């Protein structure tokens, strides 16, 4: 039988589309099975990973991997051997960016130059020594064109002195000045202003896996732990 090229092309396309449909059905079955075994996650938290037969679970910027049968869970980073790229960290970075985009600057305390060329989001603890060191250099960051957006992360947790200090700063009439006073060891007196964003910031930091402060999030979503001087930071960001 002599098949013309158009017929061959049509049969090939039919085979490929049929194969893709089978793969799609297999993925749907796998994901349904996994969701049944992990009731705390939703379909939006689950997607195929770059590795065949393995699916990615993402809760904020926390990532894990699960086998197609839902029996095995892998916690760790996934690398591309050829490029040495950390694929898991790239996913974390994107998740951090999305989370911060959903957080209004009106719920932050921002120190920005007139013309900012870069911005960083810093999870800070008022009683943290290196957080205070970072804030003493705030003019240096601004001089480098870096806007510093502060979020509260009292490491001691809720109902502690550091937590209450953060709430007092937020409730102050001039929050920027109050934060500077508190980080210098001064006392901030303010009236109770109701619900503050401290808990929201703290919970977001926990989803980012933050344990220590200062924790700097670059505008790319990269997490830079600890204090970095203004000149070192701008050099790093511009790379």
Question: Which pLDDT belongs to residue 161?
Answer: 95
What DSSP assignment string belongs to 184-226? TT--------S--SHHHHHHHHHHTT--SS-EEEETTS-EEES
For residue 184, is pLDDT > 70? yes
Q: Which residues are catalytic?
A: 125, 128, 131, 155
Phi, psi torsion values for 78, nearest 5 degrees? -105, 125
- Rg of the chain taking only CA atoms, in angstroms: 24
Q: CA 196 to CA 170: how far, in whole Å?
A: 7
Q: CA 46 to CA 68: how far, in whole Å?
A: 11
Question: Which pLDDT belongs to residue 170?
Answer: 98
Residue closest to 126 by CA, chosen among 192, 179, 174:
179
Instruction: pLDDT band for 109, please (50, 70, 90 cuts).
Output: very high
Mean pLDDT score, 187-202: 95
**Edge-to-edge strand list for the sheet holding 223-225:** 109-111, 146-152, 118-124, 215-218, 223-225
Q: Domain extents for the chain?
A: 5-99, 107-238
Question: Which pLDDT belongs to residue 154?
Answer: 97
pLDDT in tens, 132-156: 999 999 999 999 999 999 999 999 9
8 against 236, higher pLDDT: 236
| Upstream peptide bond of 38 is cis (omega within 30 degrees of 0) | no
pLDDT in tens, 156-172: 999 999 999 999 999 99
In CATH terms, the fold of domain 5-99 is: Nuclear Transport Factor 2; Chain: A, (3.10.450)
Phi, psi torsion values for 65, nearest 5 degrees? -130, 145
Question: Which pLDDT belongs to residue 6?
Answer: 66
Question: Which pLDDT belongs to residue 11?
Answer: 47
What percent of the chain is predicted at pLDDT more than 90?
74
For residue 5, is pLDDT > 70? no
pTM of structure: 0.81
CATH ID of 107-238, from 3.40.30.10, 3.20.20.80, 2.60.40.10, 3.90.1200.10: 3.40.30.10
């Amino acid at each position: 039988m002599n098949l013309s090229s158009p017929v061959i092309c049509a049969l090939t396309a039919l085979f490929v589309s049929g194969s893709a449909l089978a793969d799609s059905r297999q993925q749907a079955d796998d994901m349904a099975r996994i969701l049944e075994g992990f009731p705390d996650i939703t379909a939006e938290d689950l997607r195929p990973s770059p590795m065949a037969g393995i699916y990615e679970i993402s809760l904020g910027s926390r990532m894990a991997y699960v086998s197609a049968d839902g029996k095995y869970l892998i916690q760790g980073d996934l690398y591309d051997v050829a490029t040495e790229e950390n694929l898991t960290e790239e996913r974390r970075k994107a998740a951090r960016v999305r989370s911060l985009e959903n957080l209004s600057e009106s719920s932050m305390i921002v120190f920005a130059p007139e013309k900012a060329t870069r911005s960083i989001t810093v999870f800070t603890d008022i009683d943290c020594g290196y957080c205070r060191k970072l804030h003493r250099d705030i003019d240096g960051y601004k001089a480098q064109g870096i806007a510093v957006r502060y979020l509260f992360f009292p490491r001691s947790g809720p109902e502690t002195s550091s937590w209450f200090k953060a709430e007092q700063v937020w409730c102050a009439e001039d929050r920027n000045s109050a934060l500077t006073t508190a980080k210098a060891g001064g006392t901030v007196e303010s009236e109770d202003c109701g619900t503050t964003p401290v808990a929201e910031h703290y919970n977001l930091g926990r989803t980012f896996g933050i344990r220590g402060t200062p924790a700097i999030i670059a505008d790319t979503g990269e997490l830079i732990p600890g204090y970095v001087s203004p000149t070192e930071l701008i050099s790093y960001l511009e790379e």
